Amino acid sequence: MTKDKGTYYISTPIYYPSSNLHIGHTYCTVMADAMARFKRLQGYDVMFLTGTDEHGQKIQTLADERGITPQQYVDEIVAGIKELWKTMEISYDDFIRTTEERHIKRVTELFNRMYEKGDIYKGEYEGWYCTPCESFWTEAQLVDGKCPDCGRPVQKAKEEAYFFKMSKYADKLIDLLKNNPEFLEPESRRNEMIAFIEQGLEDLCISRSTFDWGIPVPVDPKHIMYVWIDALSNYITALGWPDDPEKYNKYWPADVHLVGKEIVRFHSLIWPAMLMSADLPLPKQVRGHGWLLLGGEKVSKSKAAKGNDVIDPVVLIDRYGIDALKYFLLREYTFGQDGVFTNEVMLKRMNYDLANDLGNLVSRTVSMIEKYNGGFVPELTEAGKCTDEVDFDAQLKEIAIGAAAKVEAQMNEFKFNMALEEIWVLVRRANKYIDETMPWALAKDEALKARLDNVLHNLAEAIRIISILIYPFMHTTSDAIRKQMGLWYADVVWEDAFTFEMMNGEQVKKGNAIFPRLDIEKELEELYAMNAKPEDENIPLELKDEIEYDDFDKLDLRVGTIIEAEKHPKADRLLVFQVKMGTEKRQIVSGVAEHFKPEECIGKKVIVLANLKARKLRGLESKGMILFADNEVDGKETLEFVSTIAEDGNPVA
């Protein structure tokens, strides 16, 4: 029987239900699930929490665009997220939604406690405001002085808002990070956070009043809480704090909050400061993982539509199965570091490690037991002992019974890839054992039957141990292997992985290959074809606000020819053009130096907005505007001249 080891509370971030989740989100949840299953198998009473972070301006805007309420919007996406976790057999114990009443009332209580402590005050938020986006930005966030989201002009604005005295907790946070290094892993993240605080920690604006999709500030309901205050609280509201504290008392403080690297700051500074303010214990650990990258960039919702690699977990599971995908995510990437995601790397892992190494080991062993011993796992006998110079049996046994402790040690460090590697050392050793002992040769000589029996027994034992070790990562495969090995009757017990001689007379039964071999080239072709956007697909473009015909009629558009082009002497981003339009020659300055070399512009026929008011750009007059248009080539944003001559030199129809 597995010993009771106490409690273990692990959480994932709660995901924004702004659109369907992709492989990047799946990565974090798969790690948390493997850890939860591992701890359960070891005898811990596990609480595994996940959920969705449903408030905020972004969701409100998306819902407005679709003409539905934010609640309707999130309900739809959250149903999809829950469906995904169900498909992936994610073993969460609770799923918290920040729109649930249980969460709202408890966050309100937490806010009140912080307020009563004197840590929340009313002040003025000063920044740049983008009216169409209803967003405040700091000077540093602006791009060319404009809204970083939509590129439109911003106005200086002030908004009354509530602030949390983060600065008051700066010293305590430094102490926490420096004196409890295990609080934040990996170390590189910890150093970043210490440096961040040492630059000076400012009070945090924790309310908004420009939109209303959020939880009202209890002391002033025209304001809503900043979405991160709302979201971070989920880790205790889901446990019932403070009104239904049974689970809270049992599981808090959390053993680990698993989070992506870009949200480590929220979890290791804001969250502990909130808890300090409310006089509540801090989580034991925050662990920041790296990102899955697609072509050098973070896999993201917008990226999902571009490129060739399929990143939709539902499609990948459908083709390759849950366990193959989970194995790949856990085996391929090193916790804490970024890793490149490609379908090719994924398929190779699936083929080499799963179909070849593990799949072959099981199918060869089962076949041999069927063929040489009527389908029953033979007993171990003295007569069958290894008499070779090298004791292959002892070597296999040593690796087999030593693996579990190694897996434990790696898992305690969140080194999922190394834990799996330890298991595969055994898988590969067992395959090698078959080559070394050559059961097919032993079978030819009746006098060697006892030796053959021991070999088959040892292989069965190794596979039994493997089936326990892989259970937290691939329980379905573990079950399938145990069924083939005749172990269907026995529970998977972690301690059994430390013992070798347990099997005796089980009846094996050959089943389907646990992982079919994939034709990688064919698979890649099919995956890429699936993701390629058909030329005639009709997806509406994201555009600026609609305009009236009268607005358009004000534009005087003329054809011109660029006769000279040079770099602006004082600004790297600007090019200075001399453009001939009929009888007139004029100078136009454009911010396109990063897209075009001056010499390639000369001779181009262009469309000029001729009646635009002249203005000076870095000291040089610009009269009118040459028209350019955004384009996308091979997934890259490019700029094109709006031209009357097509690439092939013919006039555009």
Residues at the contact surface with ligand MSP, assessed by CB under 6 A: 13-16, 24-25, 27-28, 53, 231-232, 234, 259-260, 262-263, 291-292, 298-299
Nearer to ligand MSP, 236 or 259 (CB): 259
Q: Which is nearer to ligand MSP, 186 or 378 (CB)?
A: 186
Alpha carbons 637 and 357: distance in angstroms, whole number: 43
* Rounded Cα–Cα distance for residues 574 and 302 (Å): 29
CB of 62 vs ligand MSP, minimal distance in Å = 13
What are 293's strand-pairing partners? 298, 340
User: How far apart, in whole angstroms, are the C-alpha atoms of residue 617 and residue 264?
Assistant: 42
Phi first, then psi: what are they for 459, rounded to 5°?
-65, -40
Residue with Cβ nearer ligand MSP (28 or 275): 28
Nearest approach in angstroms of CB 413 to ligand MSP is 19
Shortest-Cβ-distance residue relative to ligand MSP: 260
* Distance from C-alpha of 638 to C-alpha of 629, rounded to nearest angstrom: 9
The one-letter code for the residue type at 388 is D
- DSSP letter (8 states) at residue 48: E
Smallest separation, CB 35 to ligand MSP (Å): 15
By CB atoms closer than 10 A (0-12, 13-18, 19+), residue 21 is: buried
Closer residue to ligand MSP (CB): 288 or 472: 288
Write down the H helix ranges in 3-56: 23-41
Instruction: Find the shortest distance in angstroms from Cβ 531 to ligand MSP.
Output: 17
Estimate the crossing angle of helix 322-332 against helix 313-320, to 10 degrees.
Answer: 110
Judged by beta carbon, residue 15 or residue 163, the one nearer ligand MSP is 15
- Determine the Cα–Cα distance for residues 54 and 56; give it in Å rounded to an integer: 7
Minimum distance from CB of 524 to ligand MSP (Å)?
21
Residue 199 beta carbon to ligand MSP: minimum distance, rounded to whole angstroms: 23
State the minimum distance, in angstroms, from the CB of residue 27 to ligand MSP.
5
Task: Please say which residue, 19 or 504, places its beta carbon nearer to ligand MSP.
Answer: 19
Residue 579 C-alpha from the chain's centroid: 50
CB 90, min distance to ligand MSP, A: 14
Dihedral sign for Cα atoms in the order 434, 438, 439, 440? positive
Our CB check for ligand MSP shows the closer of 59 and 350 to be 59
Residue closer to ligand MSP, measured from CB, 81 or 205: 81
Whole-number minimum distance, CB 526 to ligand MSP, in Å?
24
Closest residue by Cα to residue 274 from 303, 215, 317, 232: 232
CB 576 within 8 A of CB 568: yes
Contacts 24+ apart (CB under 8 A), 266-269: 266/228, 266/232, 267/232, 268/177, 268/183, 268/184, 268/189, 268/190, 268/193, 269/166, 269/173, 269/193, 269/196, 269/197, 269/201
By beta-carbon proximity to ligand MSP, the closer residue of 263 and 490 is 263
CB-based contact 151:542 (threshold 8 Å): no
Q: How far apart are CA 223 and CA 208, in angstroms?
A: 5
| Residue count (the chain) | 653
- CA angle, 569 then 572 then 573, to 5°: 120
Which C-beta is closer to ligand MSP: that of 30 or that of 601? 30
Q: Which CB sits closer to ligand MSP, 349 or 586?
A: 349
* 196, containing H or E segment: helix 187-198
Nearer to ligand MSP among residue 306 and residue 573 (C-beta): 306
**CB 646 → ligand MSP: shortest distance, Å?**
39
Contact 286, 184 (CB under 8 A): yes
Give 300's DSSP letter.
Answer: -
For the bound state, the minimum distance from the C-beta of residue 44 to ligand MSP, rounded and expressed in Å, comes to 23
**CA of 260: how far to CAs of 25, 79, 98, 225, 337, in Å?**
9, 23, 19, 23, 10
Task: Report the residue number, 13 or 439, with the smaller CB distance to ligand MSP.
Answer: 13
DSSP SS3 for 292: strand
- Rounded to an integer, what distance in angstroms lies between the CA atom of residue 619 and that of residue 2? 78
Sign of CA dihedral 642, 648, 650, 653: negative
Smallest distance, ligand MSP to C-beta of residue 539, A: 22
Q: How far is the CB of 189 from ligand MSP (least distance, A)?
A: 12
Distances (CA, A) of 225 to 3, 91, 214, 240, 506: 44, 31, 6, 20, 61
Measure the CA–CA gap between 37 and 645, rounded to whole angstroms: 63
Q: What's the closest the beta carbon of residue 275 comes to ligand MSP, in angstroms?
A: 13
Nearer to ligand MSP, 24 or 378 (CB): 24
